[in-house]
Structure 1
Amino acid sequence: MTWRALILVPALLIATAAITLAVAVAAPPRALPAPKTDTLAARLLLPYFEVDFTSPQGRTTLFAVRNDDDAPVAVTIDYFEANRPAVPQLSESLTLGPKQVVTTNVRAKNVIRDDDDVARGYAVIRADRPTIQGDYFQLDDANDFAAGDRLVNADPDSPHNELCRFYTIRSFNGGPFDGGTTFTIWLESDVPATGAAPVAFYTVYNEAGDAIFSGQLFRDALAFRVSSTDLGLLGFEVPPFGAIEFELNQTTGHVWAQMSALGRFSVGLGGSCGDEAPAG
């Protein structure tokens, strides 16, 4: 009797486990939660791309677009030169299947190069309905640098549109961050920048919150990069650590920062933005 009981108990456990497994296999798949609406748009912005064609290991830009819907969506990608907003230099159309992601290396595109054999510009991605999101990366293989962020929600019909006129963003220019901070700036405009009028105004603060100096930024481009050291004025230098407030001149846009350290590390980050100047 004792041996029979020992044999019957495992058999009962095995039978119970088999029933449990059968129930688990037969259960319907769990529905995934819907994405938050502030991550989806019908118009996305790649605020700046740069491709160095002088070397296969030179700087390049990658970006990806994803369809979060369960149905296909038609997408158009327009590539613009840095200061020619009226007509795209290159356009392409594609259909993203349900949940599909398409990644693009701008180096593989026939984009227009400047005289130094470097292509600079930006891209606008449009969909026939607000179901897309994406990300981008700036890669510099020669210096082992890489940094990225989400593609910017530039949908005028979205309550979560991320284009602003005022930005406050951190600045590192000392300690291990010997490469300083480079700001990527994109301006929303239908006409080119001439360089005769400032595209932005800025105020530099130290970590104690003291305003060190203010300046004006002149550029003949709507999409460009500028280093923190270039923002210094005669007799004034950007402090090693602090923050910079930008006011874009009579337009909205986007500002993003990339900090470089020790010749081989980098990090990208955004800041706070709004349509009114920060209090203070």
Structure 2
Amino acid sequence: MAGTSKTRPEDRGPGGSQGDHPDPATAAFVAHRNLLFTVAYEMLGSAADAEDVLQETWLRWTGVDLEIVRDQRAYLVRITTRQALLRLRTLSRRKESYVGSWLPEPLLTSPDVAEDVEMADNVSMAMLLVLETLAPTERAVFVLREVFDLAYDEIAEAVDKSPAAVRQIIHRARAHVAARRPRGVVSPAETRDALDAFQRAIETGDMQNLLDILAPDVVLLGDGGGIKQAVPRPVMGADKVALLLALGLDRVRAEVSVESVQVNGSPALLLRLNGEVDSVVAVRIDDGLVTGLYAVRNPEKLSHMQRETALHR
């Protein structure tokens, strides 16, 4: 049967095709690949693990009899969700021994992700950290319903629960997320102005400019993964954060370049040290002030900063 080959889609030529005519299984997988990656990434917060989940999804998909599949998109999402749930439990054990704070893997995203305000909010570093506080099944149900608007019966099949149980789970998850999620949506103009001011303050090291743009209750989180130096625990308060940033950058200012980019659909700064990517600082902005800084220095988490990642729902 055409769909039973274990060859990966990416090994079949451009776009996952084998010549000019991809087989039905490959065509369906490639058509929904960005969606499946986004589902896995939302559930895991790790692009590397999301890619592994897609590989497992592909291997299982090639063994499916397409004649019995009514909705290929729903079927693929179901496989991806189940594989992501298995991987999520492995990740939970890995995080228990992680050195310092764990942050999601940042993704360099295209402008269209930022233009989808709801999507950008759901994949932001701040929101992914909120999702980390949910139990695995709660996270899966919340993501599939709130982000991808799947029907309750489709979600029930994906997580092996009844539709009634799924409704109860989503009710609990919504309340949990609502109590912890970032504040309201900020306009693009307000975001751009605040990020520009923050970038100027970072580049000049001006303490007063930093204090002017940082909210009094700003929080800085750093992730070096035990490989690169980073703050071992959250730093809270404008005075402490400004001093830490000013002193840290002052030592390497001559070798550092700062570039504004879109990370996970939100504003961020990309710092290069002697031309090499050193860190990504995702920025949360509320009421014209920086309220959250998420600094990722772990080099194992920076591979997706070389090119844009397509996210889709």
Instruction: Please state which band the TM-score falls in when normalised by the shorter chain.
Output: under 0.3
More helix by share: 2
When normalised by structure 1's length, the TM-score is 0.25
Larger-gyration structure (1/2)? 1
When normalised by structure 2's length, the TM-score is 0.23
